[in-house]
Amino acid sequence: MESPESSRFEQYWWILKRRWLPASGIFVSVSVIMSLVASFQKPVYVAQGLLLFKRLNTTSSVTEVGK
């Protein structure tokens, strides 16, 4: 005797096999619409930053001009 889970799975599989074209059409259309909506929205958060470098020794140590 089959378990109830396997018969339920087979029933879902049979429904999916019969209705795969409308289901995939709905999935693709919803995905495209949501991606378009997301691409046209303004970003919620935009980060900006500045780096400030302070030199301890103003003479160049590479060329040794300061010596």
Q: List pLDDT tens digits, range 40-63.
A: 988 888 888 988 888 776 666 666
Locate 44 and state its tokens.
């919620």
**What pLDDT does residue 34 have?**
96
pLDDT for 27 beyond 70: yes
Please state the φ and ψ torsions of residue 3, each to the nearest 5 degrees. Answer: -75, 155
Three-class SS of the chain: CCCHHHHHHHHHHHHHHHCHHHHHHHHHHHHHHHHHHHHHCCCCCCCCCCCCCCCCCCCCCCCCCCC
Mean pLDDT of the chain: 82
**What pLDDT does residue 31 have?**
97
> b vs e for 36-50, b when ≥16 Cβ sit within 10 Å of the residue's Cβ?
eeeeeeeeeeeeeee
pTM score over 0.75? no
Q: Enumerate the domain spans of the chain.
A: 1-67
**What pLDDT does residue 25 have?**
94
